[in-house]
Amino acid sequence: MSRWLTILAAFGFAISISAVADTGVPLGIGRTATVHDIAESDLTILPDGTGLPNGKGTSKAGAAIFAVRCAACHGDKGQGLGDFPALVGGRGTLTTDKPVLTVGSYWPYATTIFDYIRRAMPYQAAGELTADETYALTAWILAQNQIIKASAVIDRHTLPAVKMPNRDGFVPDPRPDVHAPQQ
């Protein structure tokens, strides 16, 4: 019987909340986002590098950051651990029965690596890395996959110029309704 009372109470609470929300009366919490707030959370990085912030990084700097912030999940060499994916290797496996999808074998754009790290990593503290740390981690992953030289400096100008091994492995979607209108 108590289960039904709990369900009924939850239903009643939901109805009362929706009634308050429908009135349009402010609840006195939060604040309106400013232009600065919105700009800070606009993390969109396009394949051509549009949206990349200032900063720079090297593989050497990235190795130290990776060891502390990433290796527990992705392994000390980026090989992946448990349910956490490998970041390194897999080149030449996409046409096999067991393709290994890694940053080095599958991803079409180097800027996407920066974008993903910036938004979602490290897993337990997403969004805490600085632009320099994110560039350094990106450089380390690219160097481990032998896509760039270990001595390369990655920044907003050099990163979009990196040609990923599988860049031409993706077929453009020809449907007109999935592309932004041309200005």
Name the more confident of 138 and 41: 138
- What is the total count of domains within the chain? 1
Report whether pLDDT(147) > 90: yes
Do the domain assignments include residue 95?
A: yes
- Domain residues for the domain of 127 are 40-171
Interval 129-142 mean pLDDT: 98
Query: How many other β-carbons are positioned within 10 Å of the β-carbon of residue 102?
Result: 23
**pLDDT tens per residue across span 20-77:** 555 566 677 888 888 887 777 777 899 999 999 999 999 999 999 999 999 999 999 9
**pLDDT tens per residue across span 69-99:** 999 999 999 999 999 999 999 999 999 999 9
Do the domain assignments include residue 20?
A: no
- Give CA–CA dist 101/27, Å, rounded: 47
Give the residue carrying structure tokens 């939850």: 10
Do the domain assignments include residue 144?
A: yes
- Give CA–CA dist 115/109, Å, rounded: 10
Do the domain assignments include residue 3?
A: no
Report whether pLDDT(161) > 90: yes
Do the domain assignments include residue 125?
A: yes
Q: Out of 1-10, 15-24, 61-70, 106-115, pick the least confident.
A: 15-24
- Give CA–CA dist 114/49, Å, rounded: 10
| Radius of gyration of the chain from its Cα atoms, rounded to whole angstroms | 22
pTM exceeds 0.85: no
| pLDDT band of 141, cuts 50, 70, 90 | very high
Q: To the nearest whole percent, how much of the chain has pLDDT over 70?
A: 86
The CATH number that applies at residue 142 is 1.10.760.10
Kindly report the average pLDDT of the chain as a whole number: 88
> Phi-psi region for residue 80, left (φ > 0), alpha (ψ -120 to 50) or beta?
left
Q: To the nearest whole percent, how much of the chain has pLDDT over 90?
A: 66
Please give the pLDDT value at position 53. Answer: 95
DSSP 30: S
User: Two tokens at 51?
Assistant: 């949206």
